[in-house]
Structure 1
Amino acid sequence: KEEKEEEELQAAPTNGEIGKEEKMVKIENLDEDDEPEFQGEQNVVWAVPLSSNDNKRAICPYLDTINRQVLDFDFEKLCSVTLENLNVYACLVCGKYFGGRGSKTQAHYHSLQADHHIFVNLNTYKFYCLPDNYEVVDSSLVDIDHVMNPKFSPDQIKNLDHLEKTNRHTRCLDGSRYLPGFMGLNNIKNNDGMSVVFQALLHVPPLRNFFLSHSNTNGKSPLVLHFGELARKMWSSGRFRPHVSPHEILQAISDASNKKFRIGERCDPMEFLVWFLNKLHADLGGTRKPGSSIVQKVFQGAMNMVVFTKNVVGKKEGAKKVNEVTWTESEKSSNFLFLPLDVPASPLFKNESEKNIIPQMPLLTILEKFNGKNEEMVASSGERRRYLLKTLPKYLIFHIKRFTKNFFFVEKNHTIVHFPVFNLELKDFVDPECLVDNPSTKYNLVANIRHCGDDLKSGNCVVDVQHLSSSQWYEMDDLDVKETLPELIALSESYIQIWERTEACATRSNPSAYRSRPIKTEDDNMNTS
């Protein structure tokens, strides 16, 4: 037997990468009932070391045991036995997570008990064979590496909004198809309020491109790191599944917010959006200086405020005391990340058919708050304020205030706000002296978050986002992604809107996709028929 083994070693094939002094490692594939003797060429598999100094092998006999159908790398990286997060490995046969790969670790025990041998380190993305404990290097594992850690080159990021390259659907392992960037997010438990914010922000091109680059997120806080991972997974074109589970980013948000926003409890999407943008700004090293982070570069604008402060002076007129009220006028400038829009209260009475009246109002009407003429009374300070926009941001966020809180419950205003999807003109709300600094005052809608239901606790949130290169709109409700029409978006109960300045649209590779498109009415449909 020894003479035959020596003959096999001498007759083993060599290539340019294997030196003469390197040895070939023979592995015998014997069944339990076979005798431990040489069985012939059909049971011999050669594991070729890549070099004589490291423990890497180019061929592994267990690669065909990998089951890609059960692999899911979106969950929190914790050992399924000890719940520890150090040196976590994923079994590529059953998909479970285990800690370590030494002789006394859970991954080592699992490889012996379950006869599963291929593992991957979830931090270094290296593949190992256990219990032999050698690294496996094979080109067939590239797709798994891409699912775990998708990477984008600068050219790929630049061409994401190109029509010919991004309007292509990708097929998953189960045969289903999806469009990169328009993937559903798994609703783990009542996290739809945060999911719609993720979907909307990751369709803002400058913010999306920033987080798609590894160099901008490596070494940052867990919140920035996991949000970058979520962005790369959503825009990846080689997924095994047509959806993404935001478990890691939700866990990071729960830790960073001290359990204010956590899995299992519904949250106000606007309240979460304000906290999330400010937290990203702080974790990216942002300061009070304008433009100190990508968040301020994208969303920050400025406005002029005229503040009237109430002064009460007591005077005596004979035997009576009279309070004289005067108003002091002052001007100041303030920066903003979003504009709150007040909606008039719903009517209390029903119409003739005993049904509640749902009022309708144009968006430009509630924007008159920022024309510099209308005054707003601030109840907390007793001040009167006038607002006039000074600097328009590249991407403008509107918050349509639909929910009113009192001592007993939260009431929702169902007023429908009409708005144009393309070419929203804001010139009348900008200070005339600042028009030179704002060459473009027209905006196109990019994302629209709407709330369905009567209150925040029982309803759910849906987001409408636009495929920028083709101008096709998609409705995203958790895992459900489907096409929709802009006519339906303009009639929905919008809660948060993100608008893109037309100047930013013109810098894209396909500016013709952003031309003005009038919305057809019922009269137009009757005329065409």
Structure 2
Amino acid sequence: MSKRPAEETVGALEAQRQSTGPQTPKRARLEEVIDQEFVEKGSSRNGMILEASRPRAPAPTTDMDEDGDYEDDVAVGQLGVGKAQEGPSEGFSDLYLDTINRLLIKVDFEKLCSVSLSNINVYACLVCGKYFQGRGRSSHAYTHSLDQDHHVFINIASLKVYVLPESYEVQNKTLEDIKYVVNPTYTKVDVTKLDKEPLVRWDLGGKKYIPGFVGLNNIKQNDYMNVVVHALAHVAPLKNYFMLEDLSSRPELAQRFSILVRKIWNPRAFKSHVSPHELLQEISLRSSKRFTLTIQSDPVDFLSWFINNLHLSLGGSKTKPGTSIIQKVFQGRLKVESQTITARADASDRLRFEEAAEIKMDIVRFMMLTLDLPPKPIFKDEQDKNIIPQVPLTTILSKYDGLHSQELLGQRKRYRLLSPLPPFLIFHIKRFSKNKFVEERNPTIVTFPTRSLDMSPYVEPSEGGSSTEPIWYDLVANITHESVTTTSGKKEGDIRSVYKVQLVNKASGEWFQIQDLFVEEVARELLFTSESYVQIWQLRKEPKGKGTEI
């Protein structure tokens, strides 16, 4: 080895040492590498994580996206889910879509988070059907995606589909059927076809159904609500209004009835039945629990409350007539003549009733006409069986011909309908009467035609004219009552009420009877054999000519 040159000075050696840095022993360098790996990986001691001391990044800022979610301004792949990606890497846009289970998607129930019970910014898991709030990294939907390995969610309000925890939006045409089931929409052409072209569809389970004639879940005791909802959903002007109008600015009652009507008539449904749970929850809340899912009520009471509250929800006035679609469809005018009856004793102390000479006349508005049944027979027939009488509908309608009178609270009253009659008439056939002890039911059968009911005999003639032109009405819906005996449970042997609704398919002329989830075709000639309770009749547009029975 060559010797170092003699002329190299100590200063030059010092400068060289400073430029190359101090020489570290091999042992020291090895320990430093080990310590660095220890710090980077972290060491667990007494249950605590020791991390390398490194400069901390600035605190992430949060922004709210258009769905109402707070997103962290951190890159994806760091401590949590960051700002929503615009999309996945190329070739992975369909990732997780094969995990969607359409049979488990529950779009009919109230949109509440299954954890927090909040109704704000709710997402539905398209794998299990549960609802969760939000999609940020601290949200219940985000936690669910990690815990259950469910990754596809839809925002109930915006109908946008996201993949969590990556939090990117999925835009795929195969998801359009799910969006349609969540919020069905129609055009005027679609609505017009419903009553003109017979439609037969199949659900995901292969079960055949007809849009508009699907079962409604009886959650517990809400059959009285189901029949009313079905009947109103087949009143053409109401159906068209609630299927086409944007009611997003109206109260929840109108919005939820609208979405239920659209789901009843959905030709692309996943299931052949619909749950009215969302609407019924709003009804229970708005009526202060007067009408609930757990206690059966009278369909007539509910119908009266429901159409009046729908009228107010649609901006209708309490004083001015015709201010909403409800009044335009159902409201008519009625002339009421009242005559006071006084009781006096004559010379022989006998009680005599005298009518006052003055007759008071009032014009009142109505949305439902009450028809009184004749008293039920007291005695049984020769075979010791109860006699079930029959009475034509025209007989009990004579209450409104202006000739027959009723005595009530010391007054004699006569009723007469005024022209023009409303497009739809609601008849309440009064079957129940209460006394001090019990509620009595009148089982009298009412016979009626399904078409061509002439209402002209009950309408006040115009001045100088006569009511000779027939006014034809056709039956649209018939709500029936049935008393059955409970065969099991704590109330075995008790009598309970069962309500069904009979509806006409205008496209085919067929009649269907619906009791909760059970839908069956029924012969038109046998409709009157049940105890009719509420009927809805539609004014025929072409009044001339009686038309043919279908």
Could you tell me the TM-score, scaled by structure 2's length? 0.78
The residue type equivalent to 1:448 in the other structure is N
Query: Could you tell which deviates more after superposition, 153-162 or 348-357?
Result: 153-162
State the AA in 2 paired with 1:290.
Answer: P
Q: 1:155 to 1:439 in 2, by over 3 A?
A: farther
| Residue identity matched to 1:387 | Y
What is the rounded CA distance, in whole Å, between the counterparts of 2:469 and 2:172 in structure 1? 55
2:549 corresponds to 1:517: yes
In structure 2, how many angstroms separate the alpha carbons of the residues matched to 1:144 and 1:134?
18
The residue correspondences of 1:370-409 to structure 2 (distance < 5 A) are 370-379=400-409, 382-391=410-419, 392-409=421-438
Quick check: 1:296 aligned with 2:327?
A: yes
Q: Who is 2:455 aligned against?
A: 426
SS for the counterpart of 1:490 is helix
Moved more, 322-331 or 437-446: 322-331
CA distance in 1, matches of 2:277, 2:405: 45
Residues of 2 paired with 1:437 and 1:324: CA distance? Answer: 32
Once residues 157 and 238 of structure 1 are traced to their aligned partners in structure 2, the CA distance between those partners, rounded to angstroms, is 14
Aligned-residue offset at 1:149:
0.5
Once the two structures are TM-superposed, the CA of residue 261 in structure 1 deviates from its matched residue by 0.2
Q: TM-score, normalised by structure 1?
A: 0.81
Alignment-derived partner of residue 477 in structure 1: 515
Relative to structure 1, the CA distance from residue 344 to residue 313 in structure 2 (aligned partners, 3 Å threshold; closer, same or farther) is closer
- CA RMSD in angstroms comes to 2.7
1:160 aligns with 2:194: yes
Task: Please name the residue that 1:82 is paired with.
Answer: 116
Q: In percent, how many aligned pairs have the same letter?
A: 44
Offset at residue 55 of structure 1 (A): 2.4
Map of 2:149 onto structure 1: 115
**Paired AA for residue 414 in structure 2:** R
Counterpart-to-counterpart distance in 1, 2:543 and 2:258:
24
Check the 8 A contact 1:63/1:118 in 2, yes or no: yes
CA distance in 1, matches of 2:232, 2:470: 22
Q: Is the 8 A contact 2:339 2:355 kept in 1?
A: no
The corresponding residue for 2:308 is 278
Residue correspondence of structure 1 range 127-526 to structure 2 within 5 A: 127-163=161-197, 167-215=198-246, 217-287=247-317, 288-310=319-341, 326-379=356-409, 382-391=410-419, 392-433=421-462, 441-453=471-483, 458-503=496-541, 515-517=547-549
In structure 2, distance between residues paired with 1:55 and 1:299: 51
Matched with 1:527 is: none
Q: Unmatched 5+ residue regions in structure 1? A: 1-26, 29-51, 507-511, 519-529
State the distance in 1 between where 2:311 and 2:457 align: 31
Point out 4+ residue stretches in structure 1 off by more than 4 angstroms: 310-315, 322-325, 434-440, 454-457
Q: Distance in 2 between matches of 1:56 and 1:306?
A: 73
One-letter identity of the residue aligned with 1:55? E
In structure 1, the residue matched to 2:159 is 125
Aligned to 1:4: none
Q: Structure 1, residues 51-104: CA drift from partner, whole Å, max 9, x if none?
A: x99724591311111111211110111111121111111111111111111111
Q: Partners in 1 of 2:96 and 2:542 — Cα distance?
A: 52
CA contact (8 A) 2:84 2:166 kept: no
Q: Any idea what SS the aligned residue of 2:402 has?
A: coil
Residue by residue, what CA displacement relative to the aligned partner does 1:376-422 show, whole Å, maximum 9, x if unpaired? Answer: 1123xx22111111121111111100011122221110000111111
- Provide the C-alpha distance between the structure 1 equivalents of 2:277 and 2:423, rounded to a whole number of angstroms: 31
The letter of the residue matching 2:434 is K
SS for the counterpart of 1:225 is: helix
SS at match of 2:404: coil
Aligned to 1:96: 130
What is the distance in 2 between the residues matched to 1:270 and 1:499?
A: 16
AA partner of residue 424 (structure 1): L
Equivalent residues, number:
452
Cα distance in 2, alignment partners of residues 368 and 60 from structure 1: 68
From the CA coordinates, give the structure whose radius of gyration is larger. 2
Q: Distance in 1 between matches of 2:288 and 2:306?
A: 13
CA contact (8 A) 1:375 1:385 kept: yes
Asked whether the 8 Å contact 2:457–2:467 carries over to 1, the reply is no
Deviations 1:296-319 (A, max 9, x none): 11111112111113468999x9xx
Alpha-carbon distance in structure 1 between the residues aligned to 2:538 and 2:187: 25
Matches within 5 A, 1:7-18: none
Output the amino acid matched with 1:114: Q
Distance in 1 separating the partners of 2:254 and 2:399: 35
CA change 1:438–1:222 in 2 (3 A) is farther
Deviations 1:21-41 (A, max 9, x none): xxxxxx99xxxxxxxxxxxxx
Deviation at 1:160, TM superposition (A): 2.1
Q: 1:329-387, CA deviations, whole angstroms, 9 ceiling, x for partnerless residues?
A: 111211111110000111111111110111111111111111111111123xx221111
Does the 8 A contact of 2:455 with 2:470 survive in 1?
A: no
What displacement does 1:430 show? Answer: 1.1
